[in-house]
Structure 1
Amino acid sequence: METDCTRDELPVDGDVIAPLPTGTRLLHIGPHKTGTTSIQGALFAAKDEMSRHGVEWPATTRHPMEAVLAACARTGMIGDTAPTERHWERLLEQVRATGRRTSVLSSEFFADAPDDTAIARIVEQLGGDRVHVLVTLRPLVRIMPSQWQQYVQNGLRMGYEDWLTHMLKKAPYEQPNPSFWRRHRHDRLVERWVRVAGAGRVTVVVVDDRDREGLMRTFEALLGLPEGLLRPVPDAANRSLTLAETEMLRNLNKEFRANELPEELYSQLVRNGAVMHMKNSCVPGPGDVKIRTPRWAVEAAAGIGEEIAERIGGTGVRVLGDMQLLSAEDEAGTGAVAEPRIAPEVAAQALYGALAAAAVPARTRSVHQTPSGELVRVLGHRCLKRLRLR
């Protein structure tokens, strides 16, 4: 295997993280809800500057999701275009084009690789012993509400507490979302990748939510980049939904499924129309009800987090950060749940987003990238045309 690596170890001098060997292909596999979108946005925005420091971002987009889904034999989001092997091959060509330079790839969907065979194929095709796997982790108690509302954005109809009951109390804990524990039983995730890459080529980073830019600094150190080069990129579309917004969408999902509407319509009008426009147009205020996790689920998650930390500690991988955070109980996210009420302006923005998505052809710009005046004109012309045809 061709390589230009000059160091074999990753020494730590106090709090200083030594850079990975030159020529490493750093593979960030997530999993979901561990700062992936934030770091992907920062890496993509800084790709030209990184290149001047010898580090390449080979993908042509912020997140090469279709390529990774294809590599992991996963289907896309409901109603989206199906990923193909060609997506993956194109990404591999871009990675190979970086030659002997250091490069970095990030996708939380790598965590969905179904088995050791799929992982071995991914690692070998990305460079074999040049690949260093990076896993970012957060406490389960913080991941659960965020992951639930994300599942709702992809069509889930189950309420939060009912969903928690299925995930934590109903063996084999696979319904309605088999992907949850494949992603978030983090010890098993690390073990799968260690079996292929080896403990010496896997690093685990425990994300501390109190340090908002700590993950950026860790990536800079591992890649040998100047401190401060990676900066957060504002992205309203990445925010989590409030409880009221999620409940509105969950009930819409019920109606959508009951009426057996096409999945392509869900992708265009609901997820990329109503939800996207609502998230970009409405900023949650202090009065908005957040998704709160019941005490019994918090305690269960903390217990699982303790097991995860212990098993990861026994794998021999390098750990950056405080493993005790994985079993922390988040008091801010617990307590009695107030009645979620959707604000009229939020509902209006969601409705407008769906109408605008219906007016804009699916293959052109996304709705939230199109000026409101233009959307109104297009929608008006289409309605008038249909009336004339009738």
Structure 2
Amino acid sequence: MSDLLLPEDGLLLHVGPHKTGTTAVQSAFFRARRALRAEGVSYPGRSRTPTQAVIAVTGGSPMTGEPPVDIRDWQRFVASVPERGRVVVSNEFFADAQGAAVERVVTDLGRDRVHVVVTLRALDRIVPSQWQQYVQNGRRGSWRRWLKGILLDDVPTSSRFWVRHRHDVLVRRWADVVGPDRVTVVVVDESDRSALLRVFEAMVGAPDGVLVPEPDRLNRSLTLPEVELVRALNREFRARDWDPRDYRRFVRMGVNQMLKSAPPDPDASRVELPRWAITHLRDVSQEIVVDLRASGVHVVGELDSLVVDPARSPRTRGAHPRTTSLPADVAARAVAGAIEAALEPQSGLKPMLRRARQLPPSEIIERVLPRGRRG
């Protein structure tokens, strides 16, 4: 993969989109910053990814409970980007950028040095995960309603989902600004997730194996009972008109993180695509692949794997259930997450999450509640 290597002062701009391995990439780069510096590679910013700054420059709205966006956040981030050496900037919200926002991002980061990377997966793998992500940020609508909303023929392509996931149009937006010769599409290998990190290592000239995914940051999908629990909490928050900052604290950073801290129940129901949706996504994905082949951008991986194949997934087996039972251990973990968020208002979730993986739900409750407040 030596042909992937960026110029010595190149800037790798990873624009996502969402649900294509971005969390694993960002956490791996953040974790390896010291080793990368020895190789002349910088990963600027104080956190794993500059989400607030990117939302500000792309014109988006903050996630539920986050402070208002401020373009000064973007300006400060740009000021932190080294002018020399290879640099990596990664955030999936760059996929929301259109028109003047794309121009500004490229100009501010250095038009002569930016090389755009787009990571892609098949749409049938993205759609259920993207709906879950919306639910984890406060969405209350059902899976069926949302799915029909994005897949009906009269839905405008300007909807947030298709701005991100009409992948040929996304690639074209960036290629029109930086040129197709400076855009690389990386098709995620579903059979070997580590292959994605090896591609990024090759692009920045880092040794094999320096990028390692951080277990706490794998951002797994929720099971159907888990996501329905969160959706029910979202309805309660809205009905009671609670402060969005409390939603961020108790649900996003408490309940959601606790649910994802444990391996999913292999027997639990999943969010499944109905047959009609599979057929629709197959047709759209075929169009996307045709356009990507004609785009002139560099492609790593097999474009044909982006075509939705009804035969490869069990998601087509039947209708989505209208009611879902909630296992006691899922409810217990959710309660424990909210309690822990209340007991540690500033932070402290990460050590707790590590401990929780090893504990049954009853013991989680036992540990997080002081003895005098149990019962």
| Fold similarity call, TM over 0.5 | yes
1:250-269 CA-partner distances (Å, limit 9, x unpaired) = 12222222232222221111
User: Do the aligned partners of 2:23 and 2:217 also contact (CA within 8 Å) in 1?
Assistant: no
Match of residue 146, structure 2, among 149, 163, 173: 163
Matches within 5 A, 1:59-78: 59-78=45-64
Q: CA 1:340–1:92 in structure 2 vs 1: closer, same or farther (change >3 Å)?
A: same
Q: Return the alpha-carbon distance in structure 1 between the equivalents of residues 347 and 60 of structure 2.
A: 26
Aligned residues: 359
1:354 aligns to 2:335 (yes or no): no
Asked if residue 259 in structure 1 is aligned to residue 245 in structure 2, the reply is no
Q: Assess if the C-alpha contact under 8 Å between 2:129 and 2:221 holds in 1.
A: yes
1:134 aligns with 2:117: yes
Amino acid across the alignment from 2:193: R
2:316 to 334, 359, 370: 334
Structure 2 gaps, min length 5: 356-363
Contact persistence 2:140–2:235 (CA under 8 A): yes
1:340-373 deviation per Cα after TM superposition (whole angstroms, max 9, x unaligned): 4322121011112223323333xx1143445878
Matched, 1:146 2:132: no
Distance change >3 Å, CA 197–CA 236, structure 1 → 2: closer
Name the residue aligned to 1:325: 305
Select the residue among 293, 297, 316 that pairs with 2:277: 297
Percent identity, aligned pairs only? 42
Q: Distance in 2 between matches of 1:197 and 1:301?
A: 29
1:65-116 Cα shifts (integer Å, max 9, x gaps) = 1111111121211111222122112211110xx2311111110011111x22
Distance in 2 separating the partners of 1:110 and 1:153: 20
**Which amino acid is the alignment partner of residue 305 of structure 2?**
L
2:94 to 83, 88, 110: 110
* Cα-to-partner distance string for 1:294-318 (whole Å, 9 max, x where unaligned): 1111111111111011112222111
- 1:31–1:111 Cα contact (<8 Å) kept: yes
The alignment status of 1:225 with 2:206, answered yes or no, reads yes
| Worse overlay, 34-43 or 264-273 | 264-273
Match of 1:275 among 256, 262, 265: 256
Report what 2:369 is aligned to.
376
SS in 2 for 1:17: helix
TM-score (norm 1): 0.86
**Kept after mapping to 2: 8 A contact 1:161/1:294:** no
- 1:287 corresponds, among 267, 282, 299, to 267
Shift of 1:328: 2.8
Letter in 2 for 1:365: S
Aligned to 2:13, the other structure's residue is in SS state strand
SS class of match (1:319): strand
- TM-score, normalised to structure 2, is 0.90
| Aligned position for 1:316 | 296
What value does the CA root-mean-square deviation take over the aligned residues? Answer: 2.2
Cα distance in 1 for partners of 2:4, 2:241 equals 55
